[in-house]
Amino acid sequence: MIVGERKQFDQIWESIKNYKSVLILGCGTCVAVCQAGGEKEVGLLASEIRMKSQMEGKAIKIGEATIERQCDREFFDSIKDQARDYEAILSMACGAGVQFCAEVLEPIQVFPALNTRFIGVTEQEGNWAERCRACGNCVLGTYGGICPVTICAKGLLNGPCGGSKNGKCEAGQEKDCAWVLIYNRLKKQNRLENLRGIVAPKDYSLQNHPARVVNEFYTRPIISSGEEKNAK
């Protein structure tokens, strides 16, 4: 999932304090799972803003809504009319969702309430960890399902740097050295030979931005077999 983290309240407040009405729009998928921007978090942020505006003597109308996903246009249909009653939207989606929100609800001004952090997993309740850098050329098969591009702080491909100490990373003793994890996993799988041989430099052109994936099966024009015959 995409893991997000709510911005500091002061930063959020600064972005919306001069509007008369603000709709807080949650996203019910990734950021709801990581407890940063789902329905519950929309309610919490709404309460905080209401309290703050009362203390500051401001009369801001605060609305609350959550849609299933802000990264699909169709889910905005249910809140489009409601959104027109507000001067600004505070989107609690990831950066992708915020951008779709601004596009679909144009010209209403949209502000982010989260910082998007990474593609990750739930390690345990309240603890999320990065697992993928979306490098565009997955090497997990070679390294026993542990990603050196992500877990190694330097994204090295040919083994650890000199900074690995007691199996921990130079970047901090709370971080495991990816290469020690990879070594131990491959050893258990009896395929340490995967660590031998020079790995060529990564092709960073696969990470040129903005990236796009097109599946032609879904994008080609839909022609029923009958129409196909007629066309011929």
Partner 1 sequence: MPNSKLKQALDSGKFVVTAEAGPLKGTDIKEIEEIAHLLKGKVDAINVTDQQSSVMRLGSLVTCHLLKEWGVEPIYQLTCRDRNRIALQSDLLSAWVLGVENCVALTGDLPSSGDHPQAKPVYDLDSVQLLGVMHSLNEGHDMMGNELKGKTDFFCGAVVNPGADTEASLELQIIKMEKKIAAGARFFQTQAVFDPSSFEKFIKRVEQYKVPILAGVIPLKSAGMAKFMNKNVAGINVPQAMIDKMTKAEDKTQTGIALCAELIRTLKGMCQGVHIMAIGWEKKVPDIIAAAGL
164 near partner 1, rule: CB under 8 A: yes
156 near partner 1, rule: CB under 8 A: yes
Residues in 27-86 that interact with partner 1 by CB under 8 A:
none
| Burial of 210 from C-beta contacts in 10 A (0-12 / 13-18 / 19+) | exposed
209 near partner 1, rule: CB under 8 A: no
167 near partner 1, rule: CB under 8 A: yes
Minimum CB–partner distance for residue 44 and partner 1 (Å): 31
- Whose Cβ is closer to partner 1: residue 73's or residue 188's? 188
160 near partner 1, rule: CB under 8 A: yes
Amino acid at 131: R
Q: What are phi and psi of 21, to 5 degrees?
A: -145, 135
115 near partner 1, rule: CB under 8 A: no
- Whose Cβ is closer to partner 1: residue 22's or residue 182's? 182
- Whose Cβ is closer to partner 1: residue 102's or residue 153's? 153
Residue of 158, 188, 207, 223 interacting with partner 1 (CB under 8 A):
158
198 near partner 1, rule: CB under 8 A: yes
The two three-digit tokens of residue 198, written as one number: 């020079």
Residue of 51, 161, 206, 223 interacting with partner 1 (CB under 8 A):
161
Q: Report CA-CA distances (Å) from 217 to 73, 74, 231.
A: 20, 21, 20
Contact 57, 86 (CB under 8 A): no
Q: Report CA-CA distances (Å) from 135 to 62, 119, 199, 202.
A: 40, 12, 15, 9
132 near partner 1, rule: CB under 8 A: no
| Nearest C-alpha neighbor of 118 from the set 110, 106, 128, 109 | 128
Residue of 201, 210, 221, 226 interacting with partner 1 (CB under 8 A):
201
- Whose Cβ is closer to partner 1: residue 52's or residue 202's? 202
* Look-up of token digits 């929100």: 101
- Whose Cβ is closer to partner 1: residue 82's or residue 207's? 207
- Site size toward partner 1 (CB under 8 A) is 33
118 near partner 1, rule: CB under 8 A: no
Q: Please report which residue ranges of the chain form alpha helices under DSSP H.
A: 9-16, 30-33, 39-55, 80-83, 95-104, 148-151, 178-188, 216-219, 225-231
DSSP conformation class of 67: E
Binding site for partner 1 (CB under 8 A): 153-167, 170-171, 177, 179-180, 183-184, 187, 192, 195-202, 204
